[in-house]
Amino acid sequence: MTESPNFPALDPQTVDTRTGSTYPAPFGDICHNREKRALGKALALSQFGVNLVSLPPGAASAQRHWHTQEDEFIYVLDGVVTLVTDTGEQLLETGMVAGFPGGKADGHQLINRSGDTVKYLEVGSRVPDEEVHYPDIDLHLVRLVAGGHQFQHKSGEPY
């Protein structure tokens, strides 16, 4: 990444790309070719994160999940993506937005069922005592006080 400490702006294309996920096997398979650029981190933002996400055809944003504390916001920049929630499915087209309040137990994920790459901004608050629930699979995430996070089985046993 090219950094410019003198200016508060940057070209998102200069931010390193992270591909895939940190999910334990086999849960990362659905988003193995998802690409994220951590724009908030590159800009030294500490209160919320901003990711520029590219989702190729057939890929999902994540396993279906919900956050105990953190709010999430999605803004579709380019393409058509399917939002899957407890309510069902909804198509999000370029220019549409979606929001997921922390503490609302409504698992959500985006799936690209189109033939083109979808690009969207993902914005989320950064809460130190966060937990993430995955209603469809045996997975639970806790944010560690010392930093980082830990994936656990729903029983509490670490992966």
Residue type, 112: N
Q: Tell me, what's the pLDDT at 48?
A: 95
Q: Tell me, what's the pLDDT at 4?
A: 52
Q: Tell me, what's the pLDDT at 143?
A: 85
Residue pair 57/78 in contact by the 8 Å Cβ criterion: no
Residue 86: which of 70, 72, 69, 100 has the closest Cα? 100
Q: Tell me, what's the pLDDT at 2?
A: 52
Q: Tell me, what's the pLDDT at 8?
A: 87
Q: For residue 73, give every residue at least 6 positions away whose Cβ sits within 8 Å of its Cβ, in sequence order, or none.
A: 97, 98, 99, 100, 121, 122, 123, 124
Tokens of 117: 């790459």
Binned average pLDDT, 10 residues per bin, the chain of 159 residues: 68 96 96 97 95 98 97 98 97 98 97 98 91 97 83 95
The CB-side HSE value for 126 (13 A sphere, CA atoms) comes to 15
Yes or no: domain 12-127 corresponds to CATH 3.40.309.10: no
